[in-house]
Structure 1
């Protein structure tokens, strides 16, 4: 069998000099814009804020910017904090076929290293493409069994971040391969800290970004790992999935298409496993007008994680709400959308949303489950109080490659999320920098002052 690790490392190395067509270049800018949109809310509220205050006294010198507090420091510190922030609001991108969020770990690492090393926008862009290439294809090889116990963004994200780092540190294909191999020993993040209580989930992505930077730095320093780390009997795939990896699927089309041009950009601020339900509910309301009080019962039939992760009536926090089909259905019916406002304290306390939640039931559908992860579907059955029964089969998600967000929609999403942290002039300047200029994003002024930010950190610290 072809060695998947060296094959993927070679593909990443090729991106250091390969021609980038206009479509791929634009897809990369879209991914970076979406990463920034997803990160900014986490810079003013959430675990990254508390973490930045805790780590402040240990920060070393460097040119990498932590957008959480505006401080420059080492690439590892910036990758950790920005990676954590970018997964907090649950708006980050998805590679559907691998069930993986590549942007949080990969772009957080790549930008931090590029800033620290004084690299060009072109080098940064190529590292992002290469990191997506490796991480997304690895995710395809491990899924769906990997996701049973492991948070794939926290695990595979480490290898995507390591790839991007090694590319920016001028490693050749062999050096990139060793960075990936080293990263397989750093990759972690289990499902209990995704599905259970606590604030660790976003930290998975920050750790993946930081650990990937460390792996890339180690490879540049000459440290090595086993180049059989992905597919060997005791390798990463065997340790974290039901096999040594489906590498035929993962490597199919290598050199013909690249994952960064097949991304899903989120249209709702919750877990992506809930999206087919929300999109289906919108379609049903567009066809038959009904109010929340008209509903007697809503039955949702989805794939495995729809039920195993997102069937939760107990919602005590915004984090719980983002992973609750019941809450998100209630929010959509009463607020008309599931964006940042749906997870604010006043929305979480609304009695009407809470009452609607009790009328929602979630089931796993074997036929829909068999199509996962490449298709994300839901069947909805709504019984109205007047006796009417409405049914709908939602066969895709808005934002997926077969129903993508337009540039206008993606920019509107950025403007909305960025407004949580930036005044309009700073928001507009950052958008132009990412979409129109050939320069790395630099410092950005958060809406709140650093002094106010430190007080926020004190309030959110455990």
Structure 2
């Protein structure tokens, strides 16, 4: 069997399958985190422009944006998916180097709204999307991640599987939905190596592409079943000798959705171990930013490649500047949305400290990537002391998870400015009760 068929055999009938309570709980956690990310994302230039360009697809259709505005299903998937990635707050599955929630949940929501699916059916679609897409990302490995943005490429499969489950695709059409998703998959790392606002579109287009793939397959469109593992297929073209032979071996027994990373800071997650390590030293020793003479950060190479802006001049660059994020954390105590507002970007104390931070790749830490995200922080203080700390993980990783209360607070923090305190609390209550709900919000 080809990989698409392995996934489709597992996914057939998934919309009716009962899932363990633990898995449903983790699916709710993922959806809560998605809502925490999507609401501030709507207030970003890329999403405002996207809504303007897609105005002909708004105020009509069976789906809706998270703002409540009616939309066609594809426009809802595209806009919601873009918004979910725009504020750099969305979840990740570490081993796949991939943010699964943005596209998967956006497509699932559009499909659920369009078909009148229950909250439980929506959750099952989300779970299937995570389980299939993360396994594809793991197989593609670091060779894929060198050039491709997995949230755009692998995200298409999460969206297709989630929408396919909600559309109740049988085995053969679900396999073809995945083949069609492979045809649509795109998203280059180079798209965000310069100051640019296009990165969130990768998630939105993946959501739209996956939904469209499922819709086409439902009406009989077919693709090449060996598109993932064929000699000229997705894996061969976009990775190096990927091994698909055991891609489905743990489906149904090891649920990846239970091992997500949820962001505890705002910005590129590759900077988070350095932020956590720097704050650990600051708090442990009662330091102020003025006490610090210099900081040296050693971490894994992709953190430097992706979060490598040395002296950011815009919010988009700052979100991908390890040095800026660490300096902002040390000066202000945290990295939240305010870190990317103009006053903070120009803050003299942050800029001064940023100039005294150096970064380098550590071969040992790099060899542990992607399974471990670590950083070593060395501080030289003005009083002559030298402090060092190895941060082996990020807060929010599976080994140091955000609690349910942490996720609740995250949603309330980031959704309340957009929808108000009462609405945010009602949304939270609805999301915790999704498995008993007649429809997702």
Range of TM-score over shorter length: over 0.9
Q: Secondary structure at the match of 1:67?
A: coil
Output one character per residue of 1:402-446: Cα deviation in whole Å (capped at 9) or x when no partner: 11001111111111111231111111111111112433343xxxx
| 2:384 is equivalent to residue 387 of structure 1 | yes
Listed one character per residue, the Cα deviations across residues 149-177 of structure 1 (whole Å, up to 9, x for unaligned) are 10000111011101111111121121111
CA shift, 1:343, in A, is: 1.5
Kindly indicate whether the alpha-carbon contact (under 8 Å) linking 1:331 and 1:353 is maintained by their aligned counterparts in 2.
yes
Question: Compared with structure 1, are the counterparts of its residues 420 and 156 closer, same or farther at alpha carbon in structure 2 (3 Å cutoff)?
Answer: same
**1:218-256 C-alpha deviation (Å, 9 max, x unpaired):** 10110111110111111101111122x233564342221
Q: Tell me which of 78, 84, 87 is aligned to 2:85.
A: 87
- Mapped pair 1:195 → 2:193: yes
CA distance in structure 2 between the aligned counterparts of 1:60 and 1:417, rounded to whole angstroms: 25
TM-score by length of 2: 0.97
Give the Cα–Cα distance (whole angstroms) in 2 for the partners of residues 425 and 147 of structure 1: 41
Partner of 1:360: 357
- Runs of 4 or more consecutive aligned structure 1 residues displaced over 3 Å after TM superposition: 58-61, 248-252
1:63 aligns with 2:82: no
Residue 410 of structure 1: aligned partner: 407
In structure 2, C-alpha distance between the alignment counterparts of 1:373 and 1:319, rounded to whole Å = 24
SS in 2 for 1:62: strand
Conserved 8 A contact 2:119-2:440: no
Name the residue aligned to 1:398: 395
How far 1:44 sits from its partner (Å)? 2.5
CA distance in 1, matches of 2:207, 2:9: 21
Correspondence for 1:143? 141
Per the alignment, residue 229 of structure 1 pairs with 227
3-state SS of 1:332 partner:
helix
Which deviates more, 10-19 or 92-101? 10-19
Q: Aligned pair 1:175/2:173, yes or no?
A: yes
Instruction: Note if contact 2:311-2:324 (Cα within 8 Å) is conserved in structure 1.
Output: no
User: Could you tell me which residue of structure 1 aligns to residue 432 of structure 2?
Assistant: 435
Q: Name the structure 1 match of 2:73.
A: 75
Query: Equivalent residue of 2:295, what SS?
Result: strand
For 1:28-177, what aligned pairs fall within 5 Å after superposition?
28-59=27-58, 61-67=60-66, 70-177=68-175
- For residues 345-399 of structure 1, the C-alpha deviation after alignment (integer angstroms, 9 at most, x for no partner) is 2211211111111111111111111111011111111111222111111111111
Cα offset, 1:111, TM superposition: 0.4
Conserved 8 A contact 2:13-2:170: no
> 1:12 and 1:260 mapped to 2: Cα distance?
15
Q: What CA distance in whole angstroms lies between the structure 2 residues aligned with 1:323 and 1:246? A: 32
Change (3 A) 1:250 1:380: farther
SS in 2 for 1:300: strand
Mark the runs of 5 or more structure 1 residues left unpaired by the alignment.
Answer: 443-462
Equivalent position SS for 1:253: coil
Offset at 1:58? 4.2
Indicate conservation of the 8 Å contact 1:11/1:130, yes or no: no
Specify the SS of the correspondent of 2:162: helix
- For 1:254, what is the secondary structure of its paired residue? coil
Q: Match for residue 21 of structure 2?
A: 22
1:328 aligns with 2:325: yes
